[in-house]
Amino acid sequence: MYLSSIIMPFLSFVNFVVCQLFALVTAFWFRLYLHPSKTSPFIRHVVATLLGFYLALFCFGWYALHFLVQSGLAYGVMIFTGVEHMHKYCFVVTLGYLSFCQVTRAYVFDYGMYSADFTGPMMVITQKITSLAFEIHDGLMKREEHLKPSQKYLAVRKMPSLLEYLSYNCNFMGILAGPTCSYNDYIAFIEGRWYEPKHLESNGKENGKFKQSDPSPKVKVCTCALALMVYLVIYTICPTDRVIDDTFMASNPFYIQVLYLYISMLALRPKYYFVWTLADAINNAAGFGFNGYNADGTPKWDRISNLRILNIEFATSFKMFLDNWNIQTALWLKRVCYERCPYNPTAATFLLSAIWHGVYPGYYLTFITGIVVTMAARAVRHNVRQHFLGSATLKLIYDVITWFSTQMAICYTVVPFVLLAVGPSLKFYSSWYCCIHLICLLLVLVLPVKSRRTKQQEQPSSIHASEQNCLSSPDNNCSQKQKAT
């Protein structure tokens, strides 16, 4: 039993890697031989969908039928219910079916087998279905003036056909690991309209200086290889579950335990870097993900990227870390929950994130802790940061302190996410005397911070101007500008 618990996750991971490498090679073929200039959107949809089903069956066997059941139920809701409430019904049905599958997998089949399982792709499909449902609702029910600029860009003006819908949900480029993308962006890619809006300069004139270049995901593939090597070598030596080992805690002073926790989490993150960067490379190899040009004329292929590694490792705030980690999931949470929830959107967003991730108690401990840490980080930034902007030296001191604090807060918060169970998670927190919980609660109670609605009422003109500047690329550009302010 113990041996199988080690071998099965390893075999699942190898199976996943083989399928993704096959998808990478296939993506080059798809771009070269099924280019929009050579074939019709219908053929591209059919091939992308069939290849996606093939990979799903190869990787998960008949469990892949859950992908079709979930997609079929949601499409039935879209077709047979009114547009006015369709997005709500789709949200409940899709998330409910995902939760049902997560419960059966976790508590009926193999509790704790945190490997490449069939509910992983369902999490991405859930994002796509619910995003599409809200986008259809925005496009068919709401007036133009009632939509935010990003919602205008994403709004879907007609119901997708069954083939378009299945292609969007189950294409071979994103069936195993995503990332999530908007329906409009995906259809533009399939139909060959992907480059058109990206060839315009900010003044609206066609950019003749830069030639359209084919994607070269070599850098991302090399990043994948390096990340996998770091994870396999260092994390094997420094597993996270050692932080609750009685012998380890008794034989090492507290500062050594802190240092070990940081190294362990630093070595764990490359596992996700590998998965998400490889998924991004697959989409780029197929010609999907072009996002315009840098100032020096080099093309950007980060439209659907899921992470920015350097921004994660050198993040100086909890928000900066989250904004650069699992980016497409953060955008999904923002679009379907944070921007639409009328009451306490921060708590609602963390709760939705916990439910979406699964049913292990450790997830909920992580996201409950995340709410407190986020509120404390916001209070510190609003009350303290301005006192360190007088000189470069003070700013450097502030950045170093906030970097260290952010890394410690992330490590402390994420431990239950890795340990999964309640007992080990509470044992870890008690070994740290719940110190970060107490510090964050104290900061929230002592330091005042204005609510989001109050700030919006005080700065309506600046917010309106910021939204107008985000029309061409509503998510990526807007987030950067808002950080600057």
- Is the backbone of residue 410 left (phi > 0), alpha (psi -120 to 50) or beta? alpha
Residuewise pLDDT in 10s, the chain (485 residues): 444 445 666 678 888 999 999 999 999 999 999 999 999 999 999 999 999 999 999 999 899 999 999 999 999 999 999 888 999 999 999 999 999 999 988 877 664 444 448 999 999 999 999 999 999 999 999 888 888 888 999 999 999 999 999 999 999 999 999 899 999 999 999 999 876 544 444 433 444 444 556 777 889 999 999 999 999 999 999 999 999 999 999 999 999 999 999 999 999 999 999 999 999 999 999 999 998 888 888 888 999 999 999 999 999 999 999 999 999 999 999 999 999 998 889 899 999 999 999 999 999 999 999 999 999 999 999 999 999 998 999 999 999 999 999 999 999 999 999 999 999 999 999 999 999 999 999 999 998 876 555 555 554 444 344 444 443 444 444 444 444 43
pTM of the predicted structure, to 2 decimals:
0.87
Residue tagged active-site, from 284, 326, 437, 476: 326
Cβ within 8 Å of residue 234, ≥6 positions away = 263, 266, 267
For residue 290, give the DSSP letter: -
- Of the candidates 153, 190, 195, which has an alpha carbon nearest to the alpha carbon of residue 168? 190
> How far apart are the two ends of the chain, measured CA to CA in Å?
55
pLDDT value of residue 478: 45
How confident is the model at residue 44, as a pLDDT? Answer: 97
Yes or no: say if 260 and 243 are a contact pair by the CB < 8 Å rule: yes
Tally of CB atoms within 10 A around 363? 18
Strand partners, 307: 325
* Sign of the Cα pseudo-torsion (399, 257, 411, 222, in order): positive
- pLDDT at 461 (0 to 100): 42
Active-site residue, selected from the candidate residues 87, 137, 357, 437: 357
Give catalytic status of residue 15 as yes or no.
no
Q: Name the E strands within 43-169.
A: none
Tell me if 360 sits within 8 A of 371, measured CB to CB: no
% helix / strand / coil in the chain, to the nearest 5?
Answer: 75, 0, 25
Chain centre distance of CA 6: 28
pLDDT value at residue 120: 92
Q: In the annotation, is 326 catalytic? A: yes
**Cα–Cα nearest to 121, from 182, 186, 52, 223:** 52
Q: Which two tokens stand for residue 441?
A: 């609660």
Residues β-bridged to residue 17: none
Q: How many CB atoms lie within 10 A of CB 189?
A: 26
Q: Is 269 helix (H, G, I), strand (E, B) or coil?
A: helix
Q: Which residue type does 24 have? A: L
Q: Would you say the C-alpha torsion 397, 400, 406, 412 has a positive or negative sign?
A: negative
Looking up tokens 């360190």 gives 388
* Residue among 258, 212, 296 nearest 436 (CA): 258
The CA distance from 82 to 72, in Å, is: 17
Are the C-beta atoms of 375 and 445 separated by less than 8 Å?
A: no
Write the DSSP string, 11-76.
HHHHHHHHHHHHHHHHHHHHHHHS-TTTS-HHHHHHHHHHHHHHHHHHHHGGGGHHHHHHHHHHHH
DSSP 410-428: HHHHHHHHHH-SHHHHHHH
Q: Which residues pair with 206 in a beta bridge?
A: 200
What is the reported pLDDT for 9?
65
Q: How far apart are CA 200 and CA 72, in angstroms?
A: 38
pLDDT value at residue 212: 56
Q: What is the pLDDT of residue 201?
A: 43
Of 156, 159, 131, the C-alpha closest to 142 is 156
